[in-house]
Structure 1
Amino acid sequence: MTSPVETIPMDESVEAIKEIFDNSHYHHLVVLGDGGKCAGVISDRDLLKNLSPFIGKLGERTSDLNCLKRRAHQIMTRQLVAVRANTSLRAATRVMLDHRISCLPVVDKDKKCIGIVTVRDVVRWAMSELEAEPTPEAQQDEPGKRAA
């Protein structure tokens, strides 16, 4: 789990969301609703789907820039799938696979976001499991080298 989580309000502009993604290493933002409760998620892919490809290009028009005025609640994934802090990473991974999602907010009993599980977290966990019991094949691999 990654914590703390980058969060944004429901009325955050797409322009501000783009700025966050452009200037950070984040790939997911948690959208907060009433009372600071987790209301949805926006991935960098959700953002790209909602941006005009002409922004910043020679052919840019006013209508292309209008997409930047949209709000987080208009582009977020609303069918929020989340887990509690006591959920194992193995179970969280199963939830991510079953729902075909790349992140999973971790919420407390009041639905307030306390962390997020991402594909990167799952890969780190898988690597630690693999490194715990090296196999003869794995011992021969050199990190960063192409397999023959």
Structure 2
Amino acid sequence: MSIAQIMTHRNRLITTMADASLASLRDVFAKARFQHVPVTDASNRLVGIVSVKDYFRELSPVMDAASDPAISLFIRSRKVHQVMITPVITVSEHSTIKQAAALLLKHNISCLPVTDEHKHLLGLVSWKDIMRAALNHTVASS
């Protein structure tokens, strides 16, 4: 089974740009079920990824010591490129689930952006997608 069969496709992802403010991610992480937001350029090429952990790691120093207005000002002034992870470990849509699982374990990460040979973002596969596929395969085989 290939990654293309289990990934969340680009049209269902929320992405951001490197120069966006952290404030733009607040609602994504607060309301959506997304844990990762791919960072793309104007040509839809992947340039980084920001996770909810990266977001809160950036905020933690000011959350303890600052009032709500100070936190609001801080996240409006900080940019995504200041907290995103780059370079990003990726897979192709033709990769196998086993290859993706091995990368997740090797690098201790929880998702892999799926890109083409030019680094254009095609989708995202998470450890949950892989577990779901394994469970479905196990149930179908029973």
TM-score tier by shorter-chain length is 0.7 to 0.9
Match of 2:74 among 26, 51, 67: 67
Whether 1:3 and 2:9 are equivalent positions in the alignment is yes
Which residue of 1 is the match for residue 31 of structure 2? Answer: 23
Amino acid at match of 2:116: D
Task: Output the aligned Cα RMSD.
Answer: 2.2
Bigger-Rg structure (1/2): 1
**Structure 1 unmatched runs, 5+:** 135-148
Deviation at 1:27, TM superposition (A): 0.9
Which residue of 2 is the match for residue 96 of structure 1? Answer: 104
Deviation at 1:23, TM superposition (A): 2.3
TM-score by length of 2: 0.83
Deviation at 1:105, TM superposition (A): 0.3
Contact 1:92 1:104 in 2 (8 A): yes
Q: Percent identity?
A: 27
Amino acid at match of 1:92: A
Whether 1:111 and 2:126 are equivalent positions in the alignment is no
Paired residues, number: 133
TM-score by length of 1: 0.80
**Structure 2 unmatched runs, 5+:** 1-6
Select the structure that is richer in helix: 2
Q: Say which SS state the counterpart of residue 125 (structure 1) adopts.
A: helix
- Which structure's relative contact order is higher, taking Cα pairs within 8 Å and 6+ residues apart? 2
Whether 1:121 and 2:123 are equivalent positions in the alignment is no
Provide runs of 4+ in structure 1 moved above 4 Å.
none
